[in-house]
Amino acid sequence: MRLREDFPILKEKIHGKPLVYFDNGATSQKPRAVIDALDRYYRAENSNIHRGVHALSERATAAYEAAREKVRHFINAGSDKEIIFVRGTTEAINLVAQSYGRSFLKPGDEIIVSAMEHHSNIVPWQMLCEQTGAKLRVIPINHDGELVMEEFRRLLNDKTKFVSVTHVSNALGTIVPVKEIIALAHERGVPVLLDGAQAVPHLRVDVQDLGCDFYAFSGHKMFGPTGVGVLYGRRALLEKMPPYQGGGDMSSLVTFEKTHYNVLPYKFEAGTPHIAGGIGLGAAIDYLLALDWDALAAHEHRLLSCATDALASIDGLRIIGTAKEKAGVLSFVLDHVHAHDVGTILDQEGVAVRAGHHCAMPVMQRFGVPATTRASFAFYNTTEEIDVLAQAIHRVRKVFG
Amino acid sequence: MSDLDELYQEVILDHNRSPRNFRTMTHANRKAEGYNPLCGDHVTVYLHLDNGIIQDITFQGSGCAISKASASMMTAELKGKTEAAAHELFEGVHKMLMGEDGAEGAAQKVGKLKILAGVCKFPARVKCASRAWHTVNAALKGEAQPASTE
Residue A272: CB atoms within 10 Å: 13
A357 to chain B nearest CA, in Å? 6
Residue B20: CB atoms within 10 Å: 18
Instruction: Supply the range of the domain harboring residue B128.
Output: 3-141
- Residues on chain B touching A344 (C-beta within 8 angstroms): 4, 7, 122, 124-125
Architecture of domain A34-289: 3-Layer(aba) Sandwich (3.40)
Residue B41 lies in a domain: yes
Q: Which fold has domain A2-28+292-400?
A: Aspartate Aminotransferase, domain 1 (3.90.1150)
Residue B43 lies in a domain: yes
Q: pLDDT under 70 in chain B at which residues?
A: 101-104, 106-107, 143-150
Domain count, chain B: 1
**Domains of chain A, residue spans:** 2-28+292-400, 34-289
Q: Which positions of A are annotated as active-site residues?
A: 359
Residues contacting residue A158 through CB under 8 Å, at least 6 positions apart: A188
DSSP-based three-state secondary structure for B82: strand
Check residue A264 and give its pLDDT. 96
- pLDDT digit string, tens, across residues A248-282: 888 888 999 988 999 999 999 999 999 999 999 99
Check residue A312 and give its pLDDT. 95
d(CA A113, CA A141): 11
- pLDDT digit string, tens, across residues A102-111: 999 999 999 9
Backbone angles phi, psi at B115, to 5 degrees: -60, -20
**CATH number of the domain within which B110 lies:** 3.90.1010.10
Measure CA of the first residue to CA of the last residue in chain B; give whole Å: 31
Residue B17 lies in a domain: yes
Q: How high is the ipTM of this complex?
A: 0.89
The answer to whether B9 and B66 have CB atoms below 8 angstroms apart is no
d(CA A170, CA A27): 11
Check residue A109 and give its pLDDT. 98
Check residue B102 and give its pLDDT. 66
d(CA A164, CA B50): 54
d(CA B101, CA B93): 10
Residue B93 lies in a domain: yes
Q: pLDDT under 50 in chain A at which residues?
A: none
A contact residues 332-371, partner B, Cβ 8 Å cutoff: 336-341, 344-345, 348, 355-357, 361, 364, 370-371
B34 close to A (CB below 8 A) = no
Residue B150 lies in a domain: no
Q: What is the largest CA-CA distance in chain A?
A: 73
Q: Compute CA distances B1 → A349, A396, B4, B41, whole Å.
A: 16, 17, 8, 29
Residue B86 lies in a domain: yes
Chain mean position to CA A6? 22
The answer to whether B92 and B72 have CB atoms below 8 angstroms apart is no
Measure CA of the first residue to CA of the last residue in chain A; give whole Å: 36
Q: Compute CA distances A1 → A6, A56, A380, A389, whole Å.
A: 10, 39, 8, 18
Residue B66 CB-density burial (10 A; 0-12 exposed, 13-18 middle, 19+ buried): buried
Indicate the DSSP class of residue A104.
H
Residue B48 lies in a domain: yes
Which segments within A123-262 are labelled E, that is strand?
A: 135-139, 160-166, 192-195, 214-218, 229-233, 251-254, 259-261
Of B40, B63, B122, the CB nearest to A344: B122
